[in-house]
Amino acid sequence: MRKIYLIASVLATFSHGFQIVPSRSLHSPLSYRRTERHFFNFGQKPQPKQAEPEPSKITTPEEEPDAVEKLFTFFFGKPEEEPFGLKRFGRERFPEQYPATVDDFDVASVEADDKEMAALRPLLKNTNLEERAVYLTYSANNNGWSAEAFHNAVDRKGGALVVCTTTSGQVCGGYNPKGWVGYGEARGSIAAFLFVRNKDGTFTKLRKVGGAGLAQIDNPESGPSFGVDSLVIPLNRDNKKLARSKLGSYYERFEDGTNSLFVSQAAVQLRDLKVYHGVYKDGEFIPFSDAEPFALS
């Protein structure tokens, strides 16, 4: 009797190891599932089901990393915010790698600014000079209306703001991020821009177009030249105060299609011309204070 009981117990255990999973319907994919062999899991505890991800942690297709990022992460791990202590590339760190801002003039005041510079400070939004003190390096009425006087005052001092006033009282000019060195270079920058001061005291800025090239023509025998013709002040001996402007090829036109900084005139006479540079400490590196490779014209 005891043997029969043992044999029955073994057969019951063995038969329990093989179970057929019932199918939902004849044509359901579940009807073709094979027998689950629980026999080999005999004595093991059932594995808990994995929790479904929370809705907030589900990655959307827009957030899904691309193939290159996945490959990089596979070999090198997740990208660091500041690898080796270096901050990543971006507008806040390198503002002049992007086109000029034309609709944002909200800047913090700089203690060193006088009344004139404080009025011009909004133009420097998103430039290397936005938070840096600036000073007057060239005044045509003081230094002289000549190309030689101009370059003696401005060369190798980095990016600068050019401000000119016509005999009719219009204030206009431009920002040259690359400055001058007097080597005859065509210095390029996508961050360069021209501007005019409107009657209400606000400014209109005109961006560089056609790429970064020819933002400033740095000829030693000429004054500032934004593009070939967008704003040119030759400072020639026979016509020292002449300024010319033709927009469209290197700097954008006004919204209404006007193609000159001087509105209805292609050329005017100036009564004032000034250049402002950033203030740098002794020994501090001044960006773009030397020749640029491949920029010679």
* Distance separating the N- and C-terminal Cα atoms of the chain: 111
Asked whether residue 15 carries a pLDDT value surpassing 60, the answer given is no
What's residue 283's pLDDT? 94
* Least trusted range by pLDDT, from 18-32, 51-65, 74-88: 18-32
Whole-prediction pTM: 0.71
pLDDT tens column, 69-113: 677 677 666 666 565 555 555 667 788 999 999 999 999 999 999
What's residue 18's pLDDT? 46
SS3 annotation, 235-265 = CECCECCEEECCCCCCECCCCCCCCCCECCE
**What gap in Å lies between CA 106 and CA 111, rounded to an integer?**
16
Fill in the amino acid letter for 71: L
What's residue 67's pLDDT? 73
What's residue 253's pLDDT? 98
Percent of the chain with pLDDT over 90: 65
What's residue 24's pLDDT? 47
Give me the chain's average pLDDT, please: 83
What's residue 32's pLDDT? 42
What's residue 293's pLDDT? 76
pLDDT tens column, 254-280: 999 999 999 999 999 999 999 999 999
